[in-house]
Amino acid sequence: MFAIERIKIIKNYLTQNEKVEVSKLSDMLNVSEVTIRKDLEKLEEEGFLRRIHGGAVLSPPDVLATTETLPAPSEDSTGAFGSDFHEIALIAVDMIQDNDSIMLTNGPICLEIARHLKHKQNLTVLTNDLAIALELSHFPHIKAISLGGDIDFHSKATFGRLTLANMSHFYISKIFIELDGFSENVGFSVSNIDKATLIQEAILNATSKIILCPEIYFNKTAFFKVGPLKIADKIITNYNLSDYYKKLICNHDIELFTSINLVEGSD
């Protein structure tokens, strides 16, 4: 498992449970306790947690408030897998036409998409991501609509009953859905139950469902199920996706886009 995946799981676990033991994380993530301690050390440096004997506890809200802000313009495109995310975002941008009405779910790839929409004309963009809404507010020819609702402290995105109620008032031509995992048995999954619920509601109000899933998240399962493979009309990923998953996707008559080619239909 990649470090970026472990960090995300650790953050979500601590957010929900506030305390965790090194041994539990080691068993859950199938890595050594030495590796877990290094991950916890990194998160402590960021101010997300405080290490204690045998584990860690979530930092108090007043500490987190000073360390977590809306993402900086270059943050998501310069990380360990930034180039993979960037490639996926650029393919998605090519699918967006002038006069489209679209939705961008919260996440770094969708934020990267938003940053490359400045040349599009007369777009309407629905989102639950505050950073995306803020980015699009700089483009006068794009109408950005924030879904509103309860703001999640860590993702800086809105969820909850109000968000779902507002979602029911819109119908969009294309929804770009950023996910955290896909496995053949479970299907698509994310690390947040509120995000899973929002996606399940939003896809009912969209003509074209476009999944954004980096290759590193295939054969992985996040905590909360979103739906089976068939919910997707199109999937965007990286060129090095295994042939097994390429064939699986194509056999379901789903368009597969990668950074170097398009595989369409089945053999």
Strands (E), 47-198: 49-52, 55-58, 101-104, 123-127, 142-146, 150-151, 158-159, 172-178, 181-183, 187-190
Mean local confidence (pLDDT), 160-185 = 95
Contact 93, 113 (CB under 8 A): yes
Q: Is 164 helix (H, G, I), strand (E, B) or coil?
A: helix
**pLDDT band, very low/low/confident/very high, at 28 (cuts 50, 70, 90):** confident
**pLDDT band, very low/low/confident/very high, at 62 (cuts 50, 70, 90):** low
Tell me what pLDDT residue 30 has.
85
Indicate whether 265 pLDDT > 50. no
Indicate whether 149 pLDDT > 80. yes
Class of 3-67 in CATH: mainly alpha
**pLDDT band, very low/low/confident/very high, at 260 (cuts 50, 70, 90):** low
For the chain, give the percent of residues with pLDDT over 70. Answer: 87
**pLDDT band, very low/low/confident/very high, at 176 (cuts 50, 70, 90):** very high
Does pTM top 0.75 for this prediction? no
Which has the closest alpha carbon to 174: 101, 93, 94? 101
Indicate whether 72 pLDDT > 70. no
Indicate whether 68 pLDDT > 60. no
Mean local confidence (pLDDT), 170-176 = 97
CA distance 22 to 30: 12
- Name the segment(s) of the chain with CATH classification 1.10.10.10: 3-67
Class of 82-263 in CATH: alpha beta
**Beta strand pairing call for 123-127 and 101-104:** parallel
